[in-house]
């Protein structure tokens, strides 16, 4: 969700103004995904690199995160949405960690949209955590080196219990992944738009889905193989 700061700057406002309006766009996106019966929606709220931003902005983002968790979680629960926060929680204040725990506990049994919020998250961190866990198992003799394969690594990654990601949307005009779900995006379709996040609405989201629906997903196969597989499935 990129472009909050630039959106605010274009309007002669402080970056905080953009972040607050970005929350409104997030509500719209969650509503859209829920109505379309998505299985999962993962949003990049705060990366592990975002700590490098000016202290005032980081403090404001932390307060906004805390406030949104408090004000929105009951609404998510009412709509059967399951909230999970992925990332390294240890860097957050105790009160934010407590609020995250309470929010996840409240919605953990919900069966609708799986809403994943990546906070203090980095794709490299995710991979490192998975490999560290495997190394510990090997050191204890619980696992042999020959047992390590792609699926074993994936089991230690965030989002392992969810379907593979179909589509990644990045707003704001930048065309890079920026350390987001590096492992999980291996065969994901990437959609980049110049629209700044506070202006991203249901029409913008539908445009991204239209882009996705026009893609032939081969996963290493030829077009002919994909067509034959589709016919046989029928």
6 and 18 in contact (C-beta within 8 Å)? yes
Region of 86 (left: φ > 0; alpha: ψ -120 to 50; beta: rest) is beta
The domain spans of the chain are: 4-122+160-233, 123-159
- Give the model's pLDDT for residue 60: 87
161 is catalytic: no
- Give the model's pLDDT for residue 59: 87
What class is the 4-122+160-233 domain?
alpha beta
CA–CA separation, 24 vs 198, rounded Å? 7
Active-site residue identified among 2, 4, 116, 120? 2
Tens-digit pLDDT string for the chain (234 aa): 999 999 999 999 998 899 999 999 999 999 999 999 999 999 999 898 899 888 888 888 898 898 888 889 999 999 999 999 999 999 899 999 999 999 999 999 999 999 999 999 999 999 999 999 999 999 999 999 999 999 999 999 999 999 999 999 999 999 999 999 999 999 999 999 999 999 999 999 999 999 999 987 666 667 766 666 666 676
CA distances from residue 222 to 216, 219, 228 in whole angstroms, order as listed: 10, 9, 10
- Give the model's pLDDT for residue 222: 75
120 is catalytic: no
- Give the model's pLDDT for residue 230: 65
- Give the model's pLDDT for residue 217: 67
Q: What is the pTM of this model?
A: 0.89
Active-site residue identified among 50, 110, 179, 207? 50
Which pairing describes strands 40-47 and 114-121: parallel, antiparallel, or unpaired?
parallel
- Give the model's pLDDT for residue 74: 94
């Amino acid at each position: 969700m990129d472009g909050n700061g630039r959106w605010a700057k274009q309007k002669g406002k402080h970056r905080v103004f953009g972040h607050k309006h970005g929350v409104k766009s997030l509500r719209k996106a969650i509503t859209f995904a829920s109505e379309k019966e998505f299985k999962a929606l993962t949003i990049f709220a705060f990366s592990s690199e975002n700590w490098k931003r000016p202290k005032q902005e980081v403090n404001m983002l932390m307060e906004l995160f805390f406030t949104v968790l408090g004000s929105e979680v009951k609404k998510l629960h009412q709509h059967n949405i399951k909230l999970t926060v992925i990332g390294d929680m240890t860097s957050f204040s105790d009160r934010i960690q407590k609020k995250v725990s309470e929010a996840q506990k409240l919605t953990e049994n919900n069966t609708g949209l799986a809403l994943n919020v990546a906070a203090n998250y980095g794709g490299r961190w995710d991979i490192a955590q998975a490999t560290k866990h495997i190394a510990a198992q090997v050191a204890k003799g619980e696992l042999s080196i020959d047992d390590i394969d792609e699926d074993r690594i994936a089991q230690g990654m965030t989002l392992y219990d969810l379907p593979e990601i179909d589509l990644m949307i990045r707003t704001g005009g930048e065309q890079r992944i920026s350390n987001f779900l590096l492992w999980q995006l291996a065969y994901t379709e990437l959609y980049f738009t110049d629209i700044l996040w506070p202006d991203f609405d249901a029409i913008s989201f539908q445009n991204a889905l239209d882009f996705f629906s026009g893609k032939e997903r081969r996963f290493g196969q030829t077009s002919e193989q994909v067509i034959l597989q589709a016919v046989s499935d029928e």
